[in-house]
Structure 1
Amino acid sequence: MSWNEPGGDKKDPWSGRNNENSPPDLDEVIRSLQDKLGGIFGGRSGGGDPEGAAIKGIGYLAAGAMVLWGLSGLYTVDEGTRGVVTRFGAYVETTSPGLNWHMPAPIEQVQVINVEQQRFIEVGYRSGSGQAMGSVPKEAMMLTKDENIVDVRLAVQYQVKDAKDYAFNVLDPNSTLKQVTESVERGVIGASNMDFVLTEGRSEIVMAIKAEIQAVMDAYKAGILVTSVNLQDAQPPEQVQGAFEDAIRAREDKQRLINEAEAYSNDVVPKARGAASRIVQESEGYKVKVIAEATGDVSRFSQLMVEYKKAPAVTKQRMYIEAMESVLGRSNNVLVDVKGGNNIMYLPLDKMTNRSTEEAVAAPVSHEPVSTSLPPVKEFKSDIRASSRERDVRGR
């Protein structure tokens, strides 16, 4: 119960007096409070100037409070972050990593922004830890240039490039970037055919989307740098996926057959060109050979014609002898002159015959006289030439 209520101990907690009828003495209360503060700050209780001691104590309290308030303005900016300082809500400066100070609240405040963190947004799908990728038809379904519907899922990674712009120019940068991405994506997809989106045009579409998103965000001065745009998936709607898969398989079979035909062509055409070149070169060589042989025959015939005009009989006899020499050189006959001698000759006719046959088969057919390697035949031919020369001399 209270001290001044019936049944209480009737003691005044401020003055220590037992006064149950009158209110507490205000001067006594102030004096008691001064004594207590003087004891705390080194003053003497019950002596000196009470009012001066009170003012001095209040000054100490105010100075201590000011020191604590000033120390509350110290803050640390970590590596990879920036501190945006505002004074009564207005931008003041951007601080770098390290220990910094600002005027404590409520005058100035600091917003620390991570400028190296890789942030990302998902358009057309949602993914989470341990969850499968789920499509969001409202964002994923888009109309192409050829009036087809395609399901596109896009992921955009970005980071802060200007902490001031990121903090002040856009109310919700993440939401703004998502809306810009969806708008740009629909514009790029709407300007492309469906086959281009599903097959060879993915890289071009991603580059175009990234460039246009960055241009729009720079125009907004959002302080955002788009680092990458990933086309997670692009496919026809679920209702017609079977038909599109059949079309894709047919396109792949077509490309495979084209590749096989090109490989066969690359194998056959060089061989055919090589064979054609070889035939052309052989024909050129044959042409040169025939022309040379014909030129030689004409030259020999011209020279022979001159000699024939000088001595027709001798030339005729010589031509006959050369023709016989060429004929007999390829035959198996062996001629031996035994006149004027009684020597018995031993000839290995079987070996000579086989050797002559092999040489005749191996030797090419030529218009030039072919001489045999058999000594008796050569001697016989020499005798024939000598006798023909003697007859020519006598005839002359």
Structure 2
Amino acid sequence: MAWNEPGGNDNKPRDPWGGGEQGPPDLDEALRKLQEKLGGLFGGGKSGGGGSGGPSAAVSGGMFVILLLVAAVVWALMGLYTVDEQERGVVLRFGKYYDTVQPGLRWNPPLIDDVTTVNVTRVNTVAHREQMLTEDENIVEVNLSVQYVIYNAENFVLEVRSPEVSLGHATESALRHVVGGSSMDYVLTDGREQLGIDVQQRLQDLLDNYGTGIQISRINIDEAKPPAEVQEAFDDVIKAREDEERVKNEAQAYSNGVIPVARGAAQRVLEEANAYKEQVVAEASGEAERFTKLLTEYRKAPEVTRQRLYLDALQTVYSNTSKVVVDVEGGNNMLYLPLDKIVNQSSSGQAGRGSSDLDVRELTNRVVEQIRRDSAERNSRGGR
């Protein structure tokens, strides 16, 4: 029958919680039953019915289980963590290296695994300043900055206790070694760039031997100077060296300007001498050849050749002088011909050019006539 139907000895409704009278459920009884069930699950015995302290023990047991569940959830949530894209996680399980995790959402058991994240892409910078002796026993002060990245997270975390401290010590050692093998002038002037390259190479070798997992990107020599006590004297030396270099450059520039001009003048003189030589030799050869041919023609016709030579001589003489005196029979014995004025008048205009041409023709006719008379006279004297 149903629980609320009558059917008892006293025809009263049945209580589903075991009570004889109808009423609200008994919470203590419910907790006691829950405690008994949990005790059975974890191996505990049932509490005696009617013993003192039963409901309080049930409450304490239930709270303990709830606390255990909450602690388990919190413990699980504590193991969640995120590794950024620029980082790598080094996992230690019970203090021993276990794994290197990549970027993303990760979970490791808390209190069992210890995770250390390391940024492997960021360029870190460490400055270092030190005074040291050079090879020539001079003191210099060098200020440099070291740029590095972490390329091996496992070695960076596990191999060296304090990688940054080791980096500083290694930097000082490498710098002292390189500077100690160089002169002061080399460190302070021309060798600064090479100094940084040498220090970087030696420092990287030391870090690789230590197994620090650090990769040196660049070493910048920010400043290299002598101590402050001798700075003024060193500045004077620098100025003197700069003046020396300036004077050398000026002398070299003057030399570069004078020597090519002198060489060009000398070459020009040589070329002119060679040209004059070739000209003289060519003219001499031509004159000799011409004389040989003229001699042949003279033997064939002596009078004509002689007359032609005379006319050529007069033409040569007249062409090289502006004043001519002609011996003319009758009247004035000497005839002055201002050829320079005649030539100037010939260039003054068309009419002037016509009159000058007439005068030249008349002069030419007179000269030719005189030559013919002289020739006839000589011939007549020769016939007598």
Please give the secondary structure, in 2, of the residue aligned with 1:67: helix
Please give the secondary structure, in 2, of the residue aligned with 1:153: strand
CA distance in 2, matches of 1:185, 1:291: 77
CA distance in 2, matches of 1:49, 1:100: 38
Tell me how far 1:240 sits from its aligned partner.
2.1
Q: Which residue of structure 2 aligns with residue 286 of structure 1?
A: 276
Change (3 A) 1:66 1:296: same
Tell me how far 1:181 sits from its aligned partner.
0.8
* Residues 335 and 376, structure 1, Cα contact 8 Å, conserved in 2: no
> How many residues are aligned here?
318
Q: Deviations over 1:265-319 (max 9, x none)?
A: 2222233333333333333333322222222211111112223344555544433
CA distance in 2, matches of 1:180, 1:358: 103
Tell me how far 1:64 sits from its aligned partner.
3.9
* Residues 84 and 164, structure 1, Cα contact 8 Å, conserved in 2: yes
Work out whether 1:301 is the aligned partner of 2:291: yes
1:200 to 185, 190, 197: 190
2:89 to 83, 94, 101: 83
What pairs with 1:61-140 in structure 2 (closer than 5 Å)? Answer: 61-104=67-110, 106-124=111-129, 140=130
Change (3 A) 1:331 1:70: closer
Q: Which residue of structure 2 aligns with residue 376 of structure 1?
A: 362
Tell me how far 1:214 sits from its aligned partner.
0.6
Structure 1 unaligned blocks of 5 or more: 1-37, 125-139, 340-348, 360-371
CA distance in 1, matches of 2:213, 2:359: 106
CA distance in 2, matches of 1:147, 1:280: 59
1:209 to 199, 206, 217: 199
Change (3 A) 1:46 1:228: closer
CA distance in 1, matches of 2:294, 2:367: 21
2:168 to 172, 178, 181: 178
Tell me how far 1:165 sits from its aligned partner.
0.6
* Residues 148 and 194, structure 1, Cα contact 8 Å, conserved in 2: yes
2:37 to 31, 37, 52: 52
Q: Which residue of structure 1 aligns with residue 46 of structure 2?
A: none
Change (3 A) 1:44 1:388: farther
CA distance in 1, matches of 2:275, 2:29: 135
What pairs with 1:269-348 in structure 2 (closer than 5 Å)? Answer: 269-329=259-319, 330-333=321-324
Change (3 A) 1:55 1:157: farther
Tell me how far 1:103 sits from its aligned partner.
1.6
After TM superposition, the score normalised by the length of structure 2 is: 0.71
Tell me how far 1:44 sits from its aligned partner.
5.9
CA-atom RMSD in angstroms: 3.6
CA distance in 2, matches of 1:378, 1:190: 102
Change (3 A) 1:231 1:353: closer
Change (3 A) 1:201 1:49: closer
Letter in 2 for 1:326: T
What pairs with 1:6-21 in structure 2 (closer than 5 Å)? Answer: none
Change (3 A) 1:49 1:224: closer
CA distance in 2, matches of 1:338, 1:99: 138
Q: Which residue of structure 2 aligns with residue 247 of structure 1?
A: 237
Tell me how far 1:72 sits from its aligned partner.
1.5
Letter in 2 for 1:69: W
CA distance in 1, matches of 2:121, 2:202: 22
Please give the secondary structure, in 1, of the residue aligned with 2:105: strand
Please give the secondary structure, in 2, of the residue aligned with 1:48: helix
Please give the secondary structure, in 1, of the residue aligned with 2:30: coil
Please give the secondary structure, in 2, of the residue aligned with 1:374: helix
Letter in 2 for 1:202: R
Tell me how far 1:173 sits from its aligned partner.
0.5
What pairs with 1:227-266 in structure 2 (closer than 5 Å)? Answer: 227-266=217-256
Change (3 A) 1:49 1:65: closer
Letter in 2 for 1:199: T
> 79-88 or 162-171, which moves further after superposition?
79-88
Work out whether 1:156 is the aligned partner of 2:142: no
Q: Deviations over 1:136-170 (max 9, x none)?
A: xxxx2211111222222222121211111100000
Structure 2 unaligned blocks of 5 or more: 1-25, 42-61, 331-336, 347-357
CA distance in 2, matches of 1:47, 1:218: 68
* Residues 184 and 212, structure 1, Cα contact 8 Å, conserved in 2: yes
Change (3 A) 1:82 1:44: farther
Letter in 2 for 1:70: A
> 289-298 or 177-186, which moves further after superposition?
289-298
Work out whether 1:144 is the aligned partner of 2:172: no
Letter in 1 for 2:341: N
Larger radius of gyration: 2
Q: Which residue of structure 2 aligns with residue 19 of structure 1?
A: none
CA distance in 2, matches of 1:238, 1:253: 23
* Residues 335 and 377, structure 1, Cα contact 8 Å, conserved in 2: no
Tell me how far 1:122 sits from its aligned partner.
2.5
Q: Which residue of structure 1 aligns with residue 50 of structure 2?
A: none
> 231-240 or 375-384, which moves further after superposition?
375-384
Please give the secondary structure, in 2, of the residue aligned with 1:192: coil
Change (3 A) 1:74 1:358: farther
